[in-house]
Structure 1
């Protein structure tokens, strides 16, 4: 079997964008995959970043959460797929859970490392000035950890897309992973390439948006 020509890839793109393929048009597949990635990614941010910050700053929190996190961390995200299906069925909830597990670990690790990389003198000065806990978190802890937090978010986003494709290989009715599965069953290499290029483009766009958010959150780095 030869590699598909640009003309064949274009024809497949026109087909999926107009008449559809794999039970849906391209826009429907894209919306489904982006929805799952965003939900899993946002859940990882909401839970993983505060957990990493608390573990990095508080020895008590680290002692409480780290044993459980150390058990979860080595488990490959794809290993959660059978358990997610048993617990949540073949719907979106199972896929979001698997994506969350993949994105959760980098968010925690890098947030933790961000706190540990803050200069001790800065923390001591904040303690001496008697800054209240809420102000300390938002004015010292979070700004000092932001570079590593955003590094973790980029890794989490990449993990979310990688895991999404694997999650959609089983029991999906829509999504770019479903297109890849159907294309392999139909021996349709040009359609497989269309799905791969679409995933690459979406990943690039979301990474670019994350970079824009990083520059807005840390304007001092953009001008330095």
Structure 2
């Protein structure tokens, strides 16, 4: 029988290593919880009880499903608006020096501003409703996609662009057949960063003035000194963010099949 290749051995060993890491983490957690005040480090059983409570009877005004759906909706809406505005502006800046001259100084000015610094203005402009949270998420997710789109367009091989022009490619064909395929890897990289940033901004925005959402659960649990519920809410945010990032990866693999790695 032929020996397994190094790649196959690594693939077979990855689940074992991952499982061992999870077991080691749980053991370390259990030992730490036994060694410290349970009000500081909750025991795994306390976290499980909090998860059951949140999923069944609810906490902070809603159940796990209600809070999670609210957070997913806001994160997706803010991310979608950010992508819908950052992509065309980034493409325009990358393809036109005039557009870069118009938008470049604005981006350079707002880029260093921390997203959370916009929360007071967002509340003044949009109130305590979802509009303020979507605005904060939009700003947070806007910059990474814009920068990566601009950079992706500027790094397209000039030889390919020149060859397309020689063969009579107009602006539309140049954009669809040359610029977008060449810039797509960096664009998707920016979208991933923006999506993850959307969740960070969402939770921070929900800590202030939210009636539903995982951030609301975190804030209420902190006020109630309920560490088990805090861990549950953090885990829910992590699962939601990881799931949406995975779904974006599925879209990326379908849009960019030439980037697939075959074992």
Partner of 2:205: 167
Alignment partner of 1:17 is 2:17: no
SS of corresponding position for 2:208: coil
Which of these residues, 103, 113, 116, is aligned with residue 154 of structure 2? 116
Alignment partner of 1:98 is 2:136: yes
Partner of 1:182: 220
In 2, the alpha carbon distance for the partners of 1:200 and 1:87 equals 30
SS of corresponding position for 2:79: helix
Q: Could you list the runs of 5+ residues in structure 1 that have no partner in the other structure?
A: none
In 1, the alpha carbon distance for the partners of 2:164 and 2:142 equals 29
Assess if the C-alpha contact under 8 Å between 2:148 and 2:189 holds in 1: yes
Shift of 1:223: 4.6
Alignment partner of 1:153 is 2:207: no
Which of these residues, 152, 175, 198, is aligned with residue 236 of structure 2? 198
In 2, the alpha carbon distance for the partners of 1:138 and 1:22 equals 48
SS of corresponding position for 1:139: helix
Aligned residues: 224
1:115-154 superposed matches below 5 A: 115-154=153-192
Which of these residues, 91, 95, 98, is aligned with residue 57 of structure 1? 95
Assess if the C-alpha contact under 8 Å between 2:161 and 2:174 holds in 1: no
Which of these residues, 72, 82, 88, is aligned with residue 44 of structure 1? 82
In 2, the alpha carbon distance for the partners of 1:127 and 1:91 equals 50
In 2, the alpha carbon distance for the partners of 1:202 and 1:144 equals 30
Q: Could you list the runs of 5+ residues in structure 2 that have no partner in the other structure?
A: 1-36
In 2, the alpha carbon distance for the partners of 1:161 and 1:17 equals 21
TM-score of the two chains, using structure 1 as the length reference = 0.98
In 2, the alpha carbon distance for the partners of 1:97 and 1:10 equals 34
Alignment partner of 1:82 is 2:82: no
Residues 72-98 of structure 1 deviation map (CA, whole Å, 9 limit, x = unaligned):
111111011000000010000000000
Higher relative contact order (CA 8 A, sep 6+): 1
Which of these residues, 38, 48, 67, is aligned with residue 105 of structure 2? 67
